[in-house]
Chain A
Amino acid sequence: MNLSELKKGQKAKITSINSKGPIKRRLMDMGVLPGETVEVEKIAPLGDPIDIVVKGYHLSLRKSEAEQINVEVIE
């Protein structure tokens, strides 16, 4: 399961990141790391991007990027 498939309000743990190069580095710099807990907070009115909470702050990213992040639902 990947991050883009999570529903609003669902919490999950990141298992791995498939992105490569700069995008992966950027995600990691922003605290999106394997083992981290994320929660989908909101989805933009037009359906994309999404707003997640990671490390206690809000981060928005497009679904195309979220698809590259594998997660495991915990709640």
Chain B
Amino acid sequence: MKEIKVAVAGNPNSGKSTLINAIAGTNLQVGNWPGVTVEKKTATIKFDDLTINLVDLPGTYSLSPYTQEEIIARDFLVKEKPDLIIDVVDSTNLERNLYLTIQLLELDIPVVIALNIYDEAKKKGYEIDIEKLEQLLGVKAIPTVATKKEGIKELLQVLKDFASGINPIVPKKFNYGDVEESLKIVETALKINDPGLLNRYPSRWLVLKLLENDELVLKETGLKGDEKFLKQAVSHFLKSHDEDMESIIADIRYGIAHGVTRDVLKKREKKHIDFTEKIDRIVLNRYLGIPIFLIAMWFVFKLAFDFSAPFSDWLDSVISGPVTKWTTVLLNAAKSPEWFVSLVTEGIIAGVGAVLVFIPVIAVMMFIITLLEGSGYMARVAFIMDRLMHSIGLHGKSFIPLILGFGCNVPSIYATRVLETERDRKLTAMLVPLMSCGARLPVYAIFIGAFFAKNAPTVLWSLYVLGIFMAILLGLVLKKTLFKGFAPVFIMELPPYRVPLFRDLMIHTWQKLRHFVIKAGTYIFAVSVIMWFMLNTPYGVEKENSALGRVGKTISPVFEPLGFGTWEASSSLVAGLIAKEVVVSTMAQIYGTDNGQKDNSEGKEGTKGFLEDLKNVAISFFNAVVDAFQNLLAGFGIKSLQVEEEEEMTTLKSKLQEIFTPLNAYAFLVFVLLYWPCVVVGIAMRQEFGSWKLYGQTILIHSIIAWLVAFLIYQGGRFLGF
């Protein structure tokens, strides 16, 4: 029984994930690399009597230490010393991919090249001399077509032969020409000064990195970079060249990659415009580019929300309906005390429900994002939108999480992963909550219905526009303050369009969903239960004297200058931290406008039997499926953004009309739009960025903004005599 540790490296867009999925299938475990938001995939697979421990490294173009991905890949290779590297190479783009291969070979770890996307290369008229490639690089090379699972067995066979010693792989040591002399000087000096270092790291790699003056390697080895031997090693270079060492070495590596490519690759000249070119001529066209982009975004949005909404609604109705009802029946039959029934149904079951309703929207959204990325269109979105996004300190790709934020901020936070740098991810995540999400609509609906029925569309749009405006403003400010200094660059490959495998999309979506339910689910559940205790302790007292009511009363003076300094409004806002739509239901509870109706409906439903309920659940699921597809196909409007009037709220409306004036109602709406992003957003932020810090900062900034803007509106309005 043998076991080997294998790292999978390769350029982005080389089909690496598809290859990994093809090799590992359902054995794939997905997590994060420690401390960062870069995905780490691992799998243990068996091939005959061989156990292979696969670790998928982030896709990188190089092993220079400038992106997080590169640092992770490099650290793993240098420190964990895998037995072998599978280097996934895009056969249609050999030279640039081999640039990474050359760097992998410096590590003195055996390399097996998967010449992936081999079918496309053949179609393009490329002929690769595999034997020569193996010989020139000191590797094994296997042509693969990951999307069709071709070459996977052969690849695993190579690993097996390698593990059993039949097929040794000896990485080629290249002659780096002019630099060799300098390398020797450094190596000799190290042998004398610190021989331990040469054992700890792959020696040739270490020497190269020291010559390059690689900051991270210097830091780790305790060298300063201005040692005499280092200066001596590069002195004659800097005299004769006007480039720095890094550039000289990069040039040499590319020279080798170029030479090898020239020797092994024959291109039968086929003058034709390829598929990607044809699409891009239209999609990136000067005049058509933006309209097409807007249509694509409209479709993405519709798919993400209108398609998922019926399923969320269905889950919601099943949980608050039959599940709650029958649990109550059971608990009552067991003679449970009233407070316990309330805890179970309104705390625990409602908590589970709060997690479940997110599942459809997150699933659909993750599917779409994977589709956008896998197809190559995401890079085009970035290309088209970068000009606008860059002006507020963001990257072109930030557009996707932001636009999805209008549906629900939570998956948007997860979607920030499409961005390349931590800075861009964090900055985008901070702006996402300013996109007015669907959960805020019920609040707008009730207040607009009560106070602005005549100008409903205008008032509603003013809130959306205000959110966008504040996002631009905050982006500009954050760019110059919290996120100052590190200006992100935009040097991005526009990969060829490819049709992603449905299987890959599903695997990825499933992984994300599982991650959400397990990691975020527990928190959301806990918060729901805590909220129940806030509302209901001490049990049975008036809402005013509950924990929530008392918190509301304590903080209400803060809202006095905004025009809604009552304990009722404050308590509702506190409850709204769990999800902004809760503001409405809490108000209904506090103002006691929902009791009558509830008793009524319970009385009616009580007569139905269990089987009948079950049947209704099935029927309503079927209806949800129908609705989802109907929403997708019918109509141009976005249904989830339309205000739905709920009849039972008329009593709450008239109550609100007694308490609020149009002016402080509008101030209240603005406050709801901008204040404290909901706890689920916070949980998503914690999950993505590894700590509560970003959520803390976001809470602080957004709450201050909300207060100031509502203050200006209320006081300004009063000054103007509204």
Contacts and interface: CB of A to CB of B under 8 A. Distances in A.
B602 interface: no
B256 to A, nearest CB: 13
A2 to B, nearest CB: 16
Given A25-B246, A59-B493, A45 B96 contact: no
Contacts of B251: 28, 33-34
B490 A45 contact: no
Contact of A45 (B61, B66, B99, B286): B286
Interface in A1-41: 17, 22-31, 33-34
A12 to B, nearest CB: 18
Interface string B252-279: 0010000000000000000000000000
Contact of A28 (B247, B280, B384, B494): B247
Given A45-B284, A49-B383, A31 B96 contact: yes
A65 interface: yes
Contacts of B396: 49
Interface of B is mostly: helix
Contacts of B254: 28, 31, 33
Contacts of A17: 247
B492 interface: yes
A30 B250 CA distance: 10
Contacts of A25: 64, 66, 246, 250
Contacts of B493: 30, 57-60
What band does the interface of chain B fall in when counting residues whose beta carbon is under 8 Å from A? 35 or more
Given A31-B254, A51-B494, A62 B247 contact: no
Interface residues of A, number: 31
Contacts of A33: 250-251, 254
Contacts of A58: 493-495
A26 B384 contact: no
Contact of A23 (B99, B285, B290, B489): B489
B66 A24 contact: no
Interface of A is mostly: mixed
Contacts of A24: 246-247
Nearest to A53: B494
A46 interface: yes
B289 A57 contact: no
Contacts of A65: 489-491
B313 interface: no
A29 B494 contact: no
B668 to A, nearest CB: 38
Interface in B487-501: 489-495
Interface stretch (B19-27, B386-394, B540-548): B386-394
B95 interface: yes
Nearest to B243: A34
Given A30-B96, A45-B290, A46-B388, A51 B62 contact: no
B93 interface: yes
A27 B61 CA distance: 11
A62 B490 contact: yes
Nearest to B382: A60
Contacts of B388: 46
Nearest to B95: A55
A31 B99 contact: yes
Nearest to B60: A29
Given A23-B489, A44-B387, A60 B62 contact: no
Contacts of B495: 58
Contact of B492 (A28, A34, A60): A60
Contacts of B494: 51, 58-60
B490 A29 contact: no
Contacts of A47: 387
Contacts of B491: 23, 26-27, 30, 59-61, 65
Contacts of B286: 43, 45
A70 B95 CA distance: 23
A33 B250 CA distance: 9
A48 B386 contact: yes
Contacts of A30: 61, 96, 491, 493
B325 to A, nearest CB: 55
B61 A29 contact: yes
A60 B379 CA distance: 9
A65 B386 CA distance: 14
A42 B64 contact: no
A29 B286 CA distance: 29
Contacts of B382: 60
A56 B274 CA distance: 13
B490 A61 contact: yes
Contact of B386 (A22, A42, A55, A62): A62
Nearest to A32: B491
Contacts of B247: 17, 24, 28
Contacts of B379: 60
Contacts of A42: 280, 284
Interface string B60-71: 011010100000
B264 to A, nearest CB: 15
A32 B286 CA distance: 25
B387 A59 contact: no
Nearest to B251: A33
A59 B386 CA distance: 14
Nearest to A35: B251
Nearest to B70: A29
B492 A59 contact: yes
Interface in B220-265: 246-247, 250-251, 254
Nearest to B489: A23
Nearest to A56: B93
Contacts of B285: 45
A54 B289 CA distance: 23
A55 B96 contact: yes
Contacts of A27: 491
Of listed B250, B379, B396, B491, residue having the most chain A CB within 10 A: B491
Given A28-B247, A31-B95, A48 B489 contact: no
A28 B396 CA distance: 22
Interface of B: 61-62, 64, 66, 93, 95-96, 99, 246-247, 250-251, 254, 280, 284-287, 289-290, 379, 382-384, 386-388, 390, 396, 489-495
A-B complex: 10 closest residue pairs judged by Cβ atoms: A29-B62, A46-B387, A58-B494, A45-B289, A28-B250, A22-B66, A48-B387, A62-B490, A61-B491, A29-B61
20 contacts: A24-B246, A24-B247, A26-B64, A26-B489, A27-B491, A28-B251, A30-B96, A31-B96, A33-B251, A44-B284, A44-B386, A46-B290, A46-B388, A56-B95, A58-B494, A58-B495, A59-B491, A59-B494, A65-B489, A65-B490
Given A29-B64, A45-B286, 14 more contacts: A26-B64, A28-B246, A29-B62, A33-B250, A44-B384, A46-B387, A49-B396, A51-B494, A57-B96, A60-B492, A60-B493, A61-B489, A62-B390, A62-B489
